[in-house]
Amino acid sequence: VCTQQELLLCQSLPKNLLFQLLGLSIATLSTVTHYGLHFTLISNISLESNSYRVIHHAAFYFGICLSMTLILAALLSSAATVQESQCLTAMGFFCFALAFCGLIPAACWRYTHGTEVENSMMDVYDLVYEEVRRNASSFRRHELTAIHEAFLCCGKRSPFGDTANVERKTCPSGQVHDVGQDCLREIQDFLKKHMDFVSMLLGITIGFTVYGMILTSFLWFSIHFSSNLDRKGKYTLR
């Protein structure tokens, strides 16, 4: 026969493990976004006036802080269940609430400023492409070649006339320029897939964070009001 402490422990530990896995997933996604080839390449090329570099760093630090908060909340909830501690339970609830307060503005920003990241990345490509087209910098030519190799694309449609010379110098050997390889479209498609995954993870995290707040609230009231928990799981033989 399980005591009520053991019953709560059996029910909450798998859920807390799920919160830890969710936190690790967010940390992994943030690291891939920050150190991935496509994102670091655009970030290193972007100018100070371009907003992409700020967004790039802010997204990484936000993701790491969020993942640490979720992992800490899960650990506190597990410890609170084992020790039947109201203080640890309250701290776990606070961590879930803190994560929730950060997630809601992030989700709102994603849907109200979703095109800002896309536009800033394409602005970087436009800047480099036009400077190479005007033969302004040989260094920019190396940057444009790196973008073409990373995104597997070749040039863009330009209203300023023939761009075959630029594409011949900067596109990977053997790659033919056509509509399907337009770099602006490739950047847009790549970022759309990535942001869709981010949106899905944000939605899942918000749902589990609300569930975590409900779970820790129930645990706190159970510890506070249950007469069975007052005995700390011990039984007296009579």
pLDDT beyond 70 at 7: no
How confident is residue 124, by pLDDT bands cut at 50, 70 and 90? very high
Is the distance from CB of 94 to CB of 172 less than 8 angstroms?
no
- Which residues fall within 8 angstroms of residue 83, CB to CB, at 6 or more apart? none
pLDDT at 8: 52
Phi, psi of 199 (to 5 degrees): -60, -40
The 3-state DSSP composition of the chain as helix, strand, coil percent (nearest 5) reads: 80, 0, 20
How large a percentage of the chain has pLDDT more than 90? 37
pTM of the model: 0.80
pLDDT at 2: 46
pLDDT beyond 60 at 177: no
Ramachandran bin of 23, using left for φ above 0, alpha for ψ from -120 to 50, beta for the remaining angles: alpha
- The mean per-residue pLDDT over the stretch 200-211 comes to 93
pLDDT beyond 80 at 51: yes
Look at 33 and 227; give whichever has higher pLDDT: 33
The conformation of residue 177, written as its DSSP 8-state character, comes to: P
